[in-house]
A = this chain, B = another copy of it.
Amino acid sequence: MQTSVLLENLMQALQCLPGVGPKSSQRMAFHLLQRDRRGGLNLANVLSQAMDEIGHCIDCNTFTESTQCHICASVKRQSNKTLCIVETPADIHAIEQTGQFSGRYFVLMGHLSPLDGIGPKELGLDKLAKRLIEEEITEVILATNPTIEGEVTANYIAQICLECDVTASRIAHGIPVGGDLEMVDSTTLSHSFVGRTKILNN
């Protein structure tokens, strides 16, 4: 028997979060009620605002509550004529954390998948081609996922770049830094051989 309908509803609602099942939703609900009602109320407010107000950047498609995201709106970023193509907004976060890239992005929100009805138009590739020309982009870095769909999508965009006379490059695939050679899958290992670079000898 349950002691409270609202408590049961809360446990159920928490399971919309990825990785949260019945056991952890129960632990979360009791934790918030017993120890952090302020945190729970704050989460409710921010969550409701985020779900309502966060849309897509008019330039790069990433998530933002403004018309243009912070990166696209940055004058410093605009002066860099390199554009990095990624599949999802989460990829931007991962790349920004490396601090290696100071250009702008274009988020496909997916990859080419004809069987699901996702073609060039759905990924906004016409908008991308327009940007390449209008913003005088000099290089496009293709950072789609190292999957079959990601490779196909990267190749398709490389073709658009060729037509627009823009250099296209693909991020390197290989053995993760700090990784154990024998633990790496054979596709990655094969990529690391194909993409080998010369070590300079004296």
* Contact surface of A with B, Cβ cutoff 8 Å: 1-7, 9-10, 12-14, 16-19, 24, 26-34, 36-37, 39-54, 57, 62-66, 69-71, 74, 77, 88-90, 92-93, 96, 109
Q: Are the CB atoms of A1 and B74 closer together than 8 Å?
A: yes
Q: Are the CB atoms of A16 and B43 closer together than 8 Å?
A: yes
Least distance between A53 CB and chain B CB atoms (Å): 6
Least distance between A104 CB and chain B CB atoms (Å): 10
11 A-B pairs with C-beta separation under 8 A:
A1-B70, A1-B77, A2-B96, A3-B70, A3-B93, A4-B65, A13-B43, A16-B32, A19-B24, A40-B50, A41-B52
Least distance between A132 CB and chain B CB atoms (Å): 21
Q: Which residue of B lies closest to A29 (CB)?
A: B50
Q: Which residue of B lies closest to A69 (CB)?
A: B3
